[in-house]
Amino acid sequence: MLALALKVCHRRHIYKVLVTCDDSNEACCRLIESFKGDYSSLYGLANENVTIRRYWITNN
pLDDT at 46 over 80: no
pLDDT at 55 exceeding the cut of 80:
yes
**Alpha carbon distances (Å) from 20 to 25, 28, 54:** 11, 9, 5
Q: pLDDT (tens digit, 9 = 90+) per residue, 9-29?
A: 999 999 999 999 999 999 999
Task: Give me the chain's average pLDDT, please.
Answer: 94
Burial class (CB in 10 A: 0-12, 13-18, 19+), 53: buried
Question: pTM here?
Answer: 0.88
Q: How far apart are CA 48 and CA 46, in angstroms?
A: 6
Q: Which residues have C-beta within 8 Å of that of residue 2, sequence separation ≥ 6? A: 19, 31, 32, 35
Average pLDDT over residues 46-58: 90
- Amino acid 47: pLDDT: 77
Tell me the torsion sign for CA atoms 26, 19, 40, 45. negative
The per-residue pLDDT for 38 is: 97
